[in-house]
Amino acid sequence: MAFDLVFFGGTGDLVWRKLMPALFQAFRHGTLPEGGRIIGVGRDDLSDAQYRQSIQTKFEKVEGEKRPSSEEFARFADLLCYVRMDLSRPEDYAALQQRLAERQTDTVVMYLSTAPILFTTICEQLAAAGLNTPQTRIVLEKPLGHDLASNRAINAVVGKVFKEQQIFRIDHYLGKPSVQNLFALRFGNTLFEPLWRREHIANIQITMAEELGVEKRGGFYEGTGALRDMVQNHALQLLCAIAMEPPINAHADAIRDEKLKVLRALRRWTPETLSQHVIRGQYSAGSVDGQPVPGYRDESGVSPTSSTETFVALRTEIANWRWAGVPFYIRTGKRMAARAAHIEINFRPTPHQIFHTPLGQANKLVIHLQPKDGLELHLFATGQSKRGLGSTGQTLAPVHLDLDFDKRFGSERVGAYERLLLDVLDGRLNLFVRSDEQEEAWRWVEPILQHWATEPVGPRPYNAGTWGPSASSAMIARDGFCWGEEC
């Protein structure tokens, strides 16, 4: 299958940090379809050779094993070329059109990894230049807007130019192998499904913690914050994957219909829940891995009086038959104690105790997303042989079943962007977000943004290198639970 893949924002960070390395891995694994051409589009005046050279230099920063040898890069570089464009000039789109017409490939992918403010202009110009053919697919990187209205405005323009089946909205969390394993765990096995409901589950916790701060993205992050950056998209997609009903088949719309129902069933906010069930924080100076790090307000591009949140913890419920009354906790933040993303499914305690189990503990399934990718099932057992089962007050000890997917599948593992790019080339929409899902997610987070805008008290400070403000622990403690690392 011959393809042309056009990267708008072709000299930007995302392209060299994530997209090119992912394409190179697919090329190395032999999964990138033959006959491909990758076109970087940017404002700089570069020749193809200069563009290849700049990508090669950037590849030197790619982590060890994933870095190409110079011989491998030379073969990969044959696919790369560069087109200079001013994205507001119709003539430049006409020139791109001519460049694409040279080959008449089966598939053309327009990947918009520019600032979202340019999305509508690019789509309108693509249409004006006749570049929205049925062979064309468009990929949109987050953030898609900063609230419901701006998200709908982008979706409306894109929707005028492309059909929904041509639109690939990326949420890179859906490309992670661990998230696909979550679907496999739930819908490819029978073991957990009967237990996957309010009768057996006490609470569910989603944690997405980063050790890194805002790095060089202070300017962007100031206008974004953790709620828009991580909760509106990644966290809610994970929540959907956990809570959705089994889809009738594995087709994109069957899956997306079920996710949408979960988003629609999320408990609406009230003034009371907004003030008690949402905690925002901002990191102050502290230490991470033994190294001192500055506070958020001292990062470059950040206002010294900033009220942007770098941490959010919240509690919600899903108002449906399966989940009514089960708290779902979401927590995400930068400069936290560890880089760790996991989902904890906390089961209810046994209804009648004949053994002692460690105080407050019950069975738990931990789905590790990163850095480890695997499952951990926490059970209770006894190693004692002197006093048999009949003896009173026997104490059970916690034991774990530990499944390491990286070990099991090793080199077969495919990174998130590699998976998603191959899916775009193949036209598979399963791991991409539909416009109605995205709008529903914005509809749900918007009251939080509005509440914060009027609340005089800003985010609560937390020291870098910790698990966030103590109010986050207090919130969950009010329900009689605790975050995984505290129990």
Catalytic positions, please?
234
* Residue 11: how many other CB atoms lie within 10 Å: 18
Q: Which two tokens stand for residue 62?
A: 């790619």
Backbone phi, psi, residue 229, to 5°: -75, -35
Q: Which two tokens stand for residue 323?
A: 């989940």
Contact present, 135 and 163 (Cβ < 8 Å): no
- DSSP 8-class letter at 336: B
Q: Residue 150 CB, nearest distance to ligand BG6 (Å)?
A: 17
Strand-pair partners of 344: 205, 366
Q: Which helix (H) or strand (E) holds 416?
A: helix 416-426
Give CA–CA dist 183/181, Å, rounded: 5
Using DSSP's 3-state secondary structure scheme, residue 276 falls into helix
Cα 205-206-212 angle, rounded to 5 deg: 135
Give CA–CA dist 92/72, Å, rounded: 32
Q: Which two tokens stand for residue 395?
A: 């104490």
Residues 6+ apart with CB under 8 A from 403: 374, 375, 376
Q: Which helix (H) or strand (E) holds 271?
A: helix 271-276
Binding interface with ligand BG6 (CB under 6 A): 210, 229, 341
Nearest Cα to Cα of residue 358 among 387, 382, 380:
380
Shorter beta-carbon distance to ligand BG6: residue 210 or 299: 210
Give CA–CA dist 105/4, Å, rounded: 7
Strand-pair partners of 461: 282
Q: Which two tokens stand for residue 467?
A: 């698990």
For residue 70, count CB atoms less than 10 angstroms from its CB and return exposed for 0-12, middle for 13-18, buried for 19 or more: exposed
Using DSSP's 3-state secondary structure scheme, residue 6 falls into strand
- DSSP 8-class letter at 102: T
Q: Are strands 107-112 and 80-84 parallel, antiparallel or unpaired?
A: unpaired
Sign of the CA dihedral with 380 first, then 386, 388, and 393 last: negative
* Residue 212: how many other CB atoms lie within 10 Å: 11
Write the DSSP string, 14-64. HIIIIIHHHHHHHHHHT-SPSSEEEEEEESS---HHHHHHHHHHHHTTS-G
